[in-house]
Structure 1
């Protein structure tokens, strides 16, 4: 049977496999923008103009249009996303911001995610060279507004711990490697959600799903009972093919139990 790579088919299978309540969000590389696409500031109207926050808003609210970012379209979005997605160089201040207090700023601007700025710098250098995906990156859910775009480069799922556990298990279904198909990589939320699964940096592990985010600074907007799982689109296609032969379809009572033991 020929594989169905269409986003509508893959989207339906991801939702079915994970019993997802939130819509998966896809990243597309594009040289032209789809009608109705907006910048991040049109979606995140209050507080920090965070691209990752915009993606979660899209997953929660189906009416939210696709968002985009590009070298000539970086206004209305935080500089971190522009850097992590490869549209500008990593600002020197980022290593200090992630690790300690930037010069002249108050402590509220420090994230303390790394022990030292040097550790942070070494981590950023380990990304390797940038691998541009297209003039623009467009992020949106599967509907008529994104159907004119080419095949996605990555998929992003939001879910409860159980929903994401089950999707992680499905990632492992066709893999012999016990350790590396799913990893919790360090980086900004937008790196976990987009940069890594889309393979925008040379040394990002291939054929890998990324669970997270493993950064605390977004906890004021990222719900405490939610996790994200991102993956290359080809992996999402594989999950859609594996679903019918896996535990998710063959053992639904164990995968999605109606009753649970009280501990």
Structure 2
């Protein structure tokens, strides 16, 4: 395994030759904080002083977890998952638990070159409002079949929220052929119109307990308890927002919405 490459603008971790996997489950507990940065056969990039290590600060399970921090222009960190044989087959999904020490914001996506941060493509934004691992911590991501077969999945901290971001219990697992009713609903829920003026509609709010609205950098703007299908958002300024539906069973799903 090669040593981390250290430079003025970035540090990167390049793993040794590793076989591609069809599934994995990683809780990071065999890696000690704070010296380790990512597991074997994973990779990382940290730009302009961004921080990314293995941390022992109250993990979701066991003793360790991933930590990503950086706030400011160019302070970006990426944790790059191991090579996968089935990244674009539509048969598997990525699941992990996440928290932040204040309102946080991460991105799930993929990279076509794990040594080049500019090749990262966002698949889903991750707005984080929980500061502990609780019932809202677990996030589940499906990967489009349009993703290149050689792509590497990654989690990026774009440096837009002043928070320490933690995640644990990362799993690449088969998608059940018998999805529960709730997961089917999550996949079908829509927000409209988008862009919107003063009102946005949720196509299905059955079992939704709370809706939170965060701005483009992950700051919590509004919390709506016992929401209805029509949200009155005329008090928001024009811009990009993330609407997160938090369900009674602890699951959640997020949408990006643009207010004119």
Shorter-chain TM-score above 0.5: no
TM-score per shorter chain, which class? under 0.3
> TM-score w.r.t. structure 1 length?
0.24
Please identify which structure carries the higher strand content.
2
Please identify which structure carries the higher helix content.
1
> TM-score w.r.t. structure 2 length?
0.24
